[in-house]
């Protein structure tokens, strides 16, 4: 079912791109017509605001083209549709929630911490993150807390230390 929608979305995006190109072509013609009318000051009834009437069609087509591109892109990026649908990246931990798409969206510091956790087998103590990445204790704690708030990791207390674990797909599905 997801594949059918993606084909439809891609078709809408292509149609939108064609309409953008068409509107650009019409816009060039309309602007040259307006320039010609402005040069001769007033051509018959095309005076004042009526002189800009040739812009109506290109701007309308432009708006429709933009809408046909933006709406499918927003529907494809709707929260919850990309995560856990089998399109995960093949990082160090295959059962993790984090794919390459998610990593690209994270800020640099959070991305580095996530990559370190993935390289460490999916779980690591917070003090190791601090020590190996050269972060202060507070900075490491804040980054881990933000990742936990985003639902990417779990923090478990083990003998007074924070064990940071990547969430698995099953944990994510239960949370939703």
- How does pLDDT run across 1-34, given as a tens digit for each residue? 456 678 888 889 999 999 999 999 999 988 888 7
- Each residue's pLDDT tens digit, 46-79: 566 667 778 888 999 999 999 999 988 888 775 5
Angle at 17 between CA 11 and CA 23, to 5 degrees: 135
Structure confidence at residue 79 (pLDDT): 54
- Look at residues 41, 76, 111 and tell me which one is the last residue of a structural domain: 76
Residue 106 in tokens: 């994270």
Side-chain-facing half-sphere of 114: CA atoms under 13 Å: 26
83 pLDDT exceeds 60? Answer: no
The answer to whether residues 66 and 18 belong to one domain is yes
Number of domains in the chain: 2
Asked whether residue 145 is domain-assigned, the answer is yes
Q: What is the CATH number of the domain that holds 158?
A: 1.10.10.10
The answer to whether residues 59 and 106 belong to one domain is no
Altogether, the residues listed in the chain come to a count of 176
The answer to whether residues 108 and 162 belong to one domain is yes
Q: What is the pTM of this model?
A: 0.43
Structure confidence at residue 34 (pLDDT): 78
91 pLDDT exceeds 50? Answer: no
Average pLDDT over residues 86-113: 64
- Distance, CA of 160 to CA of 157 (rounded, Å): 6
- Distance, CA of 36 to CA of 161 (rounded, Å): 76
Structure confidence at residue 84 (pLDDT): 39
Compare 87 and 63 and report the one with higher pLDDT.
63
Whose tokens are 């690209």? That residue is 104
Cβ contact 128:168 at 8 Å: no
**Domain limits for position 65:** 2-76
Asked whether residue 92 is domain-assigned, the answer is no
Asked whether residue 154 is domain-assigned, the answer is yes
- Helices 2-39, 56-76: axis angle to 10 degrees equals 160
Provide long-range contacts, Cβ within 8 A and 24+ apart, for 102-105. Answer: 102/152
The answer to whether residues 65 and 107 belong to one domain is no
- Distance, CA of 116 to CA of 110 (rounded, Å): 10
H-run or E-run covering 157: strand 153-158
- Distance, CA of 91 to CA of 73 (rounded, Å): 26
C-alpha dihedral sign at 7, 10, 14, 16: positive
- Each residue's pLDDT tens digit, 155-165: 999 998 999 99
Asked whether residue 162 is domain-assigned, the answer is yes
């Amino acid at each position: 079912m997801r594949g059918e929608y993606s084909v439809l979305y891609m078709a809408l995006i292509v149609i939108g791109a064609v309409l953008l190109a068409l509107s650009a072509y019409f816009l060039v013609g309309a602007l040259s017509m307006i320039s010609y009318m402005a040069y001769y000051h007033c051509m018959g009834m095309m005076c004042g605001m009526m002189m800009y009437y040739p812009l109506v069609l290109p701007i309308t087509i432009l708006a429709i083209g933009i809408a046909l591109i933006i709406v499918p892109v927003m529907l494809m990026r709707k929260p919850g549709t990309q995560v856990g649908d089998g399109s995960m990246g093949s990082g160090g931990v295959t059962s993790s929630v984090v794919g390459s798409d998610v990593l690209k969206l994270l800020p640099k510091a959070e991305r580095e911490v996530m990559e370190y956790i993935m390289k460490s087998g999916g779980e690591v103590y917070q003090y190791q993150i601090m020590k190996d990445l050269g972060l202060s204790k507070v900075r490491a704690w804040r980054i881990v807390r933000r990742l936990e708030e985003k639902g990417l990791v779990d923090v478990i207390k083990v003998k007074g230390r924070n064990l940071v674990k990547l969430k698995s797909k099953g944990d994510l599905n239960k949370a939703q």
